[in-house]
């Protein structure tokens, strides 16, 4: 049985679990993105098991159908929107996952907020360049945090905002006042949300109805002093409109951990936009998360080999 472990960018997957317990299996670790669909197919054609790291590599139906040896697909986490589930189902290929480890995205989101508010990257670069106190930061106390999406992560964001003595408002297309009341935040309409948020943090699931939910019209409603944070999914935000808003000073700053295309291409508009803090989708990239995920991956493969699937994801 040949097993492909994909997108091990930091070259740590092998050390995060006891892969030798998969007796009779040959395991190959891939450290670079596989790129085009053609390259994915040519590289993975001999493998019976594919282990995907979240949604780093896309597996549309055409790719899945071109992998004749594939017998099991494993993803870290319990959902993967980059994999065509009907294509797996049509071929009888099971999809298994791993338990979600920790909501480390919340920690990163607050790190990005604080980095922007206090101009930490700018101040560090300035200090290393020989200057002292080159700009002025802003306090979060008394400001309004707008949480776009009040799910598990959005709820934790809202509750932590109270420790900074921030007002919290929330909006999503399906948010009810009852749900917001449970979290003790104020549900507002779309116009109020974008126009009153001093810090807007995106925490929605990507779907046909949420794609591009932060576009040029929404950005035009925001304060010139506002900050926008996206640690959810890149396509939720119109990145070209965001870059344009930053260039003309319509926003004070933006921080992103996710992008419409990953890894981010060299000519991505946000790379040249001013007042940005950009990270390479590291919201879940921690030792604690990886040491929970990779042993679970091994359990998934062992279960498949034993004829008893574990953590099977419905197709």
Residues forming the active site = 233, 262, 281
Beta-carbon neighbour count of residue 62 at 10 Å? Answer: 11
185, 193 contact by CB (below 8 A)? no
Give residue for tokens 């607050």: 110
State how far the Cα of 258 lies from the Cα of 242, in Å rounded to an integer: 13
185, 147 contact by CB (below 8 A)? yes
Beta-carbon neighbour count of residue 73 at 10 Å? Answer: 24
Element (H, E) at 74: strand 72-75
Alpha-helical (H) ranges within 3-44 are 37-44
Report which of 241, 146, 150 is spatially closest to residue 197, judged by C-alpha positions. Answer: 146
- The secondary structure of residue 235, as a DSSP letter, is G
What one-character-per-residue DSSP string does 172-202 give? -TT--HHHHHHHT-EE--HHHHHHH-SEEEE
């Amino acid at each position: 049985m040949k097993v492909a472990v994909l997108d091990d960018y930091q070259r740590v997957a092998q050390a995060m679990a006891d892969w030798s317990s998969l007796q009779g299996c040959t395991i190959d670790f891939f450290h670079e993105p596989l790129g085009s669909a053609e390259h994915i197919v040519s590289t993975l054609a001999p493998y019976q098991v594919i282990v995907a790291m979240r949604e780093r590599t896309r597996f549309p139906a055409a790719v899945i159908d071109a992998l004749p040896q594939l017998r099991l697909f494993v993803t870290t986490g319990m959902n993967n929107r980059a994999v065509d589930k009907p294509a797996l189902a049509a071929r009888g290929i099971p999809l298994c996952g791993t338990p979600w480890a920790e909501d480390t995205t919340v920690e990163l989101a607050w790190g990005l907020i604080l980095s922007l508010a206090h101009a930490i990257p700018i101040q560090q670069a300035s200090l290393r360049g020989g200057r002292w106190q080159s700009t002025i930061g802003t306090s979060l106390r008394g400001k309004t945090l707008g949480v776009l999406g009040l799910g598990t992560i959005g709820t934790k964001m809202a509750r932590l905002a109270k420790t900074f003595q921030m007002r919290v408002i929330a909006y999503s297309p399906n948010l009810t006042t009852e749900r917001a009341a449970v979290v003790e935040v104020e549900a507002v309409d779309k116009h109020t949300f974008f126009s009153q948020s001093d810090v807007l943090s995106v925490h929605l699931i990507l779907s046909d109805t949420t794609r591009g939910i932060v576009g040029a019209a929404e950005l035009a409603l925001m304060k010139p002093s506002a900050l926008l944070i996206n640690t959810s999914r890149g396509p939720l935000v119109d990145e070209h409109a965001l870059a344009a808003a930053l260039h003309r000073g319509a926003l004070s700053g933006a921080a992103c951990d996710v992008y419409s295309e990953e890894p981010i291409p060299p000519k991505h508009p946000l790379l040249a936009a001013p007042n940005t803090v950009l990270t390479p989708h590291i919201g879940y990239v921690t030792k604690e998360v990886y040491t929970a995920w990779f042993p679970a991956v091994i359990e998934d493969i062992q279960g498949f080999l034993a004829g008893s699937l574990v953590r099977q994801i419905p197709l």
